[in-house]
Structure 1
Amino acid sequence: MCCSLFYYLLLTSFIPISYTLWENEKLCPLQCTCYLQHLTETSIYRYTQQDKEAEKHQSEAFGHENNEVLYDDDFIATFEEAKSILRTAVCMIQTETELKDLLRKVQKDVNALTLIQGSDSGNKTLKASDLVQFQDLLVLELQGVKLKEQQNASNFVYEVDASLTWLEYLNLERVTLKNSLRSFRVFDKDEEVTVEYVKKFLPNSKPIAFVKKGPPTEILPYKEYVEQMKNNFASFKGFESLVLLRISDCDLNTLYWEIFEGLSKLEYLILDRNHLKFIPDFAFYGAPKLKSLSLAHNYLLNIQLTHLAGLLELEYLDLSHNNFSELSELSLPPFPKLKLANFGDNPVTVIFPNTFEVLNTTDSIILGSEETPLSLLTNSFVGLKLLKKLTIRNLKIKVLQKEILVGMPSLKEFILTGDIPKIDFDAFMEVNNLEKLIMNQCNISRLSVDTFMGLNRLKILDLSKNNIDFIPPGLFDILPNLRELYLSNNHLKEVSKGIFPNTLRLIRLDNNPWQCSCDMSDWKPMIINRIKRKIAKICNQEFDKGISCGKDTSFTYTYIFEPKVAPKCASPPEYINHSVFHVMRKQFKCSAYKPKLRKIKKQKNTSLEVTAKTIDVSTENSYVSDEENNFNNKQSIETNRHSIELNRQSNELHRHSIELNRQSNDLNTFLSSQNNRDVYNKWNGGLNFSQKSVELNTRNGIRKKKFRKNSFGKIKKVL
């Protein structure tokens, strides 16, 4: 009870405050939290992004930012067309909770229902017939505790005894599935399951050319057969509106094609973290529109082309973390729309020729595992005409030759790890469109001057974490578009002068035993002491109506100056672990070392009365070497410049105020002379006194003269 209450409080603490309850908020059960939620913020949406997450994790494993292949996201389009705001109820199942009573209290117009079983709450059973009352239900999520964790562990049983024809998204996690005799159809035990047999029950399915015929299976008594089938799987026949079905960590050990019979709208099927060892023939033939299939984290021992046959709309296939040991031309059926295939973390030892010949539209493939070395044969990748990204982990091969990479003319990103002691001079001639080549942790010790011949479009080259102790002069001269070079964690002691081309914007040379000398004077600290950082783009929906929100990616990349990655000296001994640039400038005082300097303005205390010219005179110019300036100095410089600009503007305002005062005094003087003229005209009958006054003022300059009449009518000057 205590643990259940804790989970409930933890759950409610993550509910967004901005979401409000719908109309019947007072009728929400005490065990539940009711709120409005956008469909893209549910866990259902996260499961549709697994293709992008797979590539992201692979790129992070190699320490690089990901330039992922982007696909058309039909799932988002489906959400926009459908109801995007859902009336959501999240309920906690505790020890004393009766599911039927709880469901009676939940509002009938709920769109998304999540039931979470608390720890030590006992065995709970939910029947599909109990949910028939929710005719507006679109999303159903059931989450149990860990199965078979203890002898008296709590189990969450979901019994499929009714069809929820309107349900679109079903997520079952750590739930025991059970089928009911009411929805269980009896098959002829003497008939063999072939394509013709399947067509009896799916007359509208597409024809396929593979037919499985073999020896008859063991005939069981009828009652034993029914009981075995009932306990082994639950059929989702009648869930005809399902778009996504996830059965994760549910102790599923056997698949039957009848499980997915009639799921004609199913697009996302996730069966990860179960105990599957085999896939029967045509197992997914009942879901012809399937676009994403995940069988990751199972125990599959073999993959045959009849296992996955019929998935002509498939775009994402995840078979990672299984136990099959080889891939051949008999492993995969045609996938005319496949974009990403993940075979990673399997003990695959060899890939035979023509294995991927049927995957002629695939964009990205992931192969290899950390535990088992992988071997490649000639023509292993023939047919991958549109492949853009290839990731191979733990590749063991004596010589990387051109014949191994034949068949991938569109390849742009190639990621390799393993044991590759030698690379032929023309190894990359067949993949001359490469833009990113990562060969870290490949046990490379020597490079020839023509190793990267033909890679005229290469922008990123990573040779870090190898055993390279010598770089031949001119190695990078044949790479005219190279922008980033990673040589960290090698055995380099020195390199020839001018080896780094001027096109480079980032060079990593840290963690090498450098022998410091003035021969390194041409190294540029602002390029070598850099890191690449991923920055989220600012998406302003309020002011620019989403114009700044691009559809391709929500991140951009920038280079940041970071002295911590500066290469360090290993010799002479007195300068061990000292920065190469510091030793050249302060210790060796190399005359040829002239790093690019940045101009820094330091502001002195000034007052508003000081003019802009005085500020410019009092400003001190100082120059500091780039390797000693970090990101904080840059911010300080910008702050000083901004302060100087504010003072300059203040002085401009002050001068403008003085000018206004001067003009005001001139105006007062003019008005005073005008009044004197009017007085004179009144007493003297119109004498042209203004001319005399003007002449006197002009003749006397600055001094101001005043006149008045005496008692005898004569004009007299008053000092």
Structure 2
Amino acid sequence: MQWINVLLVLVLLIQLNVNAARINAKPHTKQHTKFLKYQQIRQQHKKLGPHAVERAHNEVTTTHRIQRLQRTEVPPLELPHEHTQQLAIDTLQCPTGCVCQYAPFAELPISRWIQHMQAQRPGAQPVDDIWSNERASSNSNEATYDNFDDDANDDAYTTNPYMKQATCILQEESDVEDLIQKLPHDLHALILLYTSSGRNKSINLSTLKPLNQLTTLEVRGGLNRSLRVLFDQPLSFLQYANFESVTLLGSEDYKRPKNSVHPKDSYDYKPRSESYDDLDALAFAPLDDYDDNIVPYDIYKQELLKARMPTFYGWEHLEVLRIHGCQLNELRWEMFDGLTALDHLSLERNGITEVPPFSFYGALHIQTLSLAHNLIHDLHYRALAGLLELEVLDLSYNRLDKLSERSFPPFPKLVRVDFRSNPIRNILPASFWVMNSTLSMHFDSQVMALRLKNNQPFESLVELQELHIGNVSVGNLGQNMFKGLTALEKLTLHGNIRSIEFDAFASLHKLRELELSHCGIQELSMDAFIDCRALEVLDLSYNNISYFPPGLLDDQPHLEEIYLQGNRLRTLPHTFFLRPKLRLARLNENPWECSCEMYNWRPKITNQVRGPRTKRCITDYTTGKQISCRRVDSYVYENRYAPRCSNHNERSVFYVIHKQLNCAPGRVVLTKKQQHTHMPQHNSILPRPAGKQPMPHWRKIEQSKLKLMQNKNQTQVHAVRVTDEQRKMPKTVTAFTQRNTLTYAMQQERAKRVEHVAEEEDNNNISNDI
């Protein structure tokens, strides 16, 4: 029996070893098989380039997709398409003079311009939000082989974040057609650079037809635009086009629309001023007769062929068009006709002097339009007619000298408009009645100052949040200047403003930042900032302010920063540093007259500058995701920003108060209104702060001298015995010795300070009653 048991145990052990060997020889899971294939392909692509890993992912997923389709009973549906010549795709072939590589789309110049224009649109992510950008980029590039077992997610890895692009340098002896034929025909982006400034060289767009997978095209020439681009065939597969410093020419064989109807036949908007027959029409800009410039279409077509103007008709997939420095100074509406997918259009630095009627009526879905750095001297509402989807309009660096009701057509979605570096002198009434959704508006000119009048020039901008005027000229800033801007949050004014009257910003209930620096302001009304209860930052720096009214900031409970440097201030009210949320007050570059009334000045508020903004987020403990984030302002302490005394050899205010004047902590008398806002107590005298205060240096010296005198006379500090000889001394001698003590001097100085503060309170009450 024992031998039988031993044999059974041996048989069981042998069977277990055989099963273990079979298990080791068999792949564990489908995931393991895919991983092994992935490793094999990765080893094969090690020497092919830095982006071989992404190509390995694509090859693995493509192989599995083909296998799944082969296992299905029904073959995949083949959509009908045009018969084109099948071209061999060679990912390693690149002709001489070109560089073929895998690179992200974000590195292209046109991509950076798209990001710049997208940042100006509503709801765009802030540029300084680097955390979100890093998270988005990291999530898009993450790839692990663990996800290969999920067949539903295979499509996510076929989208390669790197696109195949080629950069070619053209010279005078280069054969463009032969060069393009040698390029890989699976290119996604093509950049052509012409470096020669000699004789002219031409490129026909028809030579790019074999590159039917091309989505991005950039052509850049020299300063003299010696590279010519002939529009002989449309590139319907292009999505992004960028032309810089080249000459664009049309062709007679180009496919053009037939029986086109002029936009004027279907456009019926007219501003209100055109129907005026009375003297009120004189307030608006004169209307030029644009209809005389419109000729019949047959005649215009002949002129167009003679001028060989390029046209983008047939580019139905084009989303972004950027033409810079191409001297495209004559615009026609047929040029952009048929661009139904166009979102961004930029025509900068083309020498455009006039925008003809209905210039962009063929591309009615434009969202961002840039006409900056041109020579436009006047705008008519028919020039930009039909752009009902426009969100960003850039007219900076032109020659516009006035704005009126007849300057713009209706823009129901316009969010941002830029008028910087235009010599605009006047803004006539009702100029912005067609911009009810505008959020941001910028004016700035070094040549001509904008003359604002109290006639509500910014009327109907009910959603405007940011207004910047870099060069303004107004004598007295009155209360009707910004009336109606109920949503304004940031206002910046620079230029020439003599005084700010009462209720100048009364209707700006949401104003958070107000910058009035470098304006030459001389007078401030006590009620200048009334109703601005949301104000957080006030900048009055580098003006001519010599008097700061006591109650100027009584209606600003949320004020955090105030800038008063570069003025002519000598004193400040006693309640200036009693603001509950005040964190920064720049007071340097002022001729301060230092006295003990400045004892409550705080160097922690005056001797600092705003630092970089940080971001604090609350993250989930289990998942690690950010729940909510907020920006935190930081401040850096700097002694060089300390205010200085003009009556003490430009020494620091805090040094003079504590070292030279030996000012002790006093009491400040508050009015009844200030008691309720700052400290709701029954006593009108502000008590000393609770807790033990640090002893100043001058007090330590006085105490040491007092102890030495007490030791010499063999007396105690807390109790002084009066001898009989001292009682027999005359009263005049006793009074004289009491005046020389430290406690008597402090009592007299405190009594004088309280009397002085009480007198100032009485004067303020009398002035308020008056």
Normalization by structure 1: what TM-score? Answer: 0.68
Partner of 1:173: 244
Structure 1 SS opposite 2:480:
helix
Match 1:520 to one of 598, 601, 612: 598
Matched residues in 2 for 1:487 and 1:232: separation? 60
Give 1:320 deviation, angstroms: 1.1
Partner of 1:288: 364
Q: Do the aligned partners of residues 208 and 133 (structure 1) sit closer, same or farther apart at CA in structure 2, a change above 3 Å counting? A: farther
Query: Are positions 1:183 and 2:260 aligned together?
Result: no
1:493-642 correspondence to structure 2 within 5 Å:
493-500=570-577, 501-535=579-613, 547-548=625-626, 557-573=633-649, 576=650, 578-592=651-665
Match 2:229 to one of 158, 161, 185: 158
Match 2:438 to one of 323, 348, 362: 362
Which runs of no fewer than 5 residues in structure 1 stay unpaired?
1-16, 56-64, 69-75, 148-153, 200-206, 595-622, 626-719
Match 1:397 to one of 455, 465, 474: 474
Partner of 1:671: none
Structure 2 SS opposite 1:35:
strand
Structure 2 SS opposite 1:278:
coil
Partner of 1:619: none
1:102-501 correspondence to structure 2 within 5 Å:
102-120=179-197, 122-147=199-224, 155-183=226-254, 185=256, 193-196=262-265, 208-209=268-269, 214-215=291-292, 226=302, 229-231=305-307, 233-377=309-453, 378-500=455-577, 501=579
Structure 2 SS opposite 1:429:
coil
Structure 2 SS opposite 1:287:
coil
Q: Mean Cα displacement is larger for which, 261-270 or 122-131?
A: 122-131
Q: Which amino acid aligns with 1:126?
A: I
Partner of 2:686: none
C-alpha deviations, 1:33-58, integer Å up to 9, x for none?
32223333432232234457779xxx
Matched residues in 2 for 1:475 and 1:322: separation? 40
Matched residues in 1 for 2:618 and 2:185: separation? 37
Matched residues in 2 for 1:523 and 1:508: separation? 12
Matched residues in 1 for 2:400 and 2:357: separation? 17
Partner of 1:9: none
Matched residues in 2 for 1:348 and 1:90: separation? 43
Matched residues in 2 for 1:314 and 1:466: separation? 39
Give 1:325 deviation, angstroms: 0.9
Q: Mean Cα displacement is larger for which, 31-40 or 585-594?
A: 585-594
Partner of 2:114: 48
Give 1:444 deviation, angstroms: 0.5
Partner of 1:32: 98
C-alpha deviations, 1:230-275, integer Å up to 9, x for none?
5462101111111010111111111000110100000000011111
Matched residues in 1 for 2:627 and 2:51: separation? 24
Q: Which amino acid aligns with 1:514?
A: W
Partner of 2:9: none
Matched residues in 2 for 1:142 and 1:112: separation? 11
Structure 2 SS opposite 1:104:
helix
Q: Which amino acid aligns with 2:167?
A: V
Matched residues in 1 for 2:612 and 2:416: separation? 24
1:2-41 correspondence to structure 2 within 5 Å:
24=90, 26-41=92-107
Contact kept? 2:252, 2:305, Cα under 8 Å:
no
Aligned length: 539
Matched residues in 1 for 2:215 and 2:618: separation? 31
Matched residues in 2 for 1:556 and 1:520: separation? 30
Q: Which amino acid aligns with 1:343?
A: F
* Backbone CA RMSD of aligned residues: 3.8
Q: Do the aligned partners of residues 370 and 48 (structure 1) sit closer, same or farther apart at CA in structure 2, a change above 3 Å counting? A: same
Q: Which amino acid aligns with 2:495?
A: G
Matched residues in 2 for 1:523 and 1:396: separation? 36
Give 1:104 deviation, angstroms: 2.2
Q: Mean Cα displacement is larger for which, 334-343 or 484-493?
A: 484-493
Matched residues in 1 for 2:98 and 2:108: separation? 17
Contact kept? 2:256, 2:313, Cα under 8 Å:
no
Matched residues in 2 for 1:47 and 1:546: separation? 34
Matched residues in 2 for 1:259 and 1:343: separation? 26
Percent identical pairs in the alignment equals 35
Give 1:210 deviation, angstroms: 6.0
Give 1:279 deviation, angstroms: 0.8
Give 1:194 deviation, angstroms: 5.0
Q: Which amino acid aligns with 1:531?
A: V
Contact kept? 2:557, 2:581, Cα under 8 Å:
yes
Q: Do the aligned partners of residues 28 and 186 (structure 1) sit closer, same or farther apart at CA in structure 2, a change above 3 Å counting? A: closer
C-alpha deviations, 1:11-33, integer Å up to 9, x for none?
xxxxxx96669875542334233
Matched residues in 2 for 1:401 and 1:155: separation? 56
Structure 1 SS opposite 2:372:
coil
Contact kept? 2:102, 2:163, Cα under 8 Å:
yes
Q: Do the aligned partners of residues 174 and 187 (structure 1) sit closer, same or farther apart at CA in structure 2, a change above 3 Å counting? A: same
C-alpha deviations, 1:580-630, integer Å up to 9, x for none?
334444444544499xxxxxxxxxxxxxxxxxxxxxxxxxxxx999xxxxx
Matched residues in 2 for 1:83 and 1:540: separation? 33
Give 1:185 deviation, angstroms: 4.5
Matched residues in 1 for 2:413 and 2:120: separation? 18
Give 1:302 deviation, angstroms: 0.8
Matched residues in 2 for 1:540 and 1:256: separation? 55
Q: Do the aligned partners of residues 170 and 538 (structure 1) sit closer, same or farther apart at CA in structure 2, a change above 3 Å counting? A: farther
Matched residues in 1 for 2:118 and 2:263: separation? 36
Matched residues in 1 for 2:695 and 2:112: separation? 49
C-alpha deviations, 1:341-373, integer Å up to 9, x for none?
112211111111111111111111112412111
Q: Which amino acid aligns with 1:128?
A: L
Q: Which amino acid aligns with 1:408?
A: L
Matched residues in 2 for 1:624 and 1:30: separation? 81
Q: Do the aligned partners of residues 539 and 160 (structure 1) sit closer, same or farther apart at CA in structure 2, a change above 3 Å counting? A: farther
Q: Which amino acid aligns with 1:326?
A: K
Matched residues in 2 for 1:455 and 1:540: separation? 32
Partner of 2:30: none
Contact kept? 1:173, 1:249, Cα under 8 Å:
yes
Q: Do the aligned partners of residues 267 and 22 (structure 1) sit closer, same or farther apart at CA in structure 2, a change above 3 Å counting? A: same
Q: Mean Cα displacement is larger for which, 170-179 or 231-240?
A: 231-240
Matched residues in 2 for 1:300 and 1:217: separation? 19
Give 1:229 deviation, angstroms: 4.5
Contact kept? 1:94, 1:121, Cα under 8 Å:
no
Q: Which amino acid aligns with 2:551?
A: G
Structure 2 SS opposite 1:397:
strand
Q: Which amino acid aligns with 1:99?
A: V
C-alpha deviations, 1:523-573, integer Å up to 9, x for none?
2222212222334759999x99994598x99x7642222233223343323
Partner of 2:736: none
Structure 1 SS opposite 2:612:
strand
Q: Do the aligned partners of residues 213 and 417 (structure 1) sit closer, same or farther apart at CA in structure 2, a change above 3 Å counting? A: closer
